[in-house]
Amino acid sequence: MIKHQQSSHDTSRRRLLLRGTTALSATAVALLAGVPAKAAKSATGQDASRDAAVLNTALALEHEAINAYTLGAQSKLLEKPVLAVALKFQGDHKVHRDRLVSVLKTLGATPAEERTLAVYAQALDVEKLKSQADVLDFAAGLEHGAVNAYLGIIPSFADRPLAKLAGQLAADETEHFVVLSQALGRELPAPLSFGV
């Protein structure tokens, strides 16, 4: 009886896996197989290069975030425990960067390059940061923007696995934003307040 149940479970699982496999798009298959899919068309017919272009924008955002935390750390304005959290968040962004680079290469696209720290310092106008609260507010603003950006690009992906990746990135940025907001003594975000 137990054996029968196990067999039935295995059959159901195989069916589920098969069903899932048939639902995978050309890009998703390429992602799983590690095959460049530059010329692949998505399930909706959209060229995979369009998805890659959007992912490259996300990568540029992650490069900026990594450098923003470096600038915050170098400001000497952060107390030790706060600095530790900032570096943890920076590590998260490095994980995001590496994942995006990996996916972009799998898609056959050239990943966006990181610019110099000086370029980011000027673009982000970090000279205005004069206190720990300023740095936290600055970081919270970037994280909030990133949440909305990632939520905003989800509908643009033709391939669902890439939309899910954008959702995962948004979830991490939301965590960062909420922690930074709490450190600033702000209230928790209202429901449905992101992405609007």
The tokens describing 54, both together, are 């959007």
- Print the binding letters for residues 11-50 with another protein: x by CB under 8 A, - otherwise: ---------------------------------------x
Answer whether 144's CB lies under 8 Å from 68's CB: no
Instruction: Compute the radius of gyration of the chain from its Cα atoms.
Output: 20
- Options 135, 144, 174, 181; binder of another protein; rule CB under 8 A: 144
Window contacting another protein (CB under 8 A); options: 23-31, 99-107, 137-145, 180-188:
137-145
DSSP 33-93: HT---TT-B-TTS-BHHHHHHHHHHHHHHHHHHHHHHHHHHHTT-S-HHHHHHHHHHHHHH
Distance CA 127, CA 117 (A): 13
Window contacting another protein (CB under 8 A); options: 7-15, 24-32, 58-66, 100-108:
58-66
- Options 8, 122, 168, 182; binder of another protein; rule CB under 8 A: 122
- Options 70, 75, 132, 156; binder of another protein; rule CB under 8 A: 156
- Binding residues for another protein, rule: CB under 8 A, are 50, 53-54, 56-57, 60-61, 64, 122-125, 141-142, 144-146, 148-149, 152-153, 155-157, 196
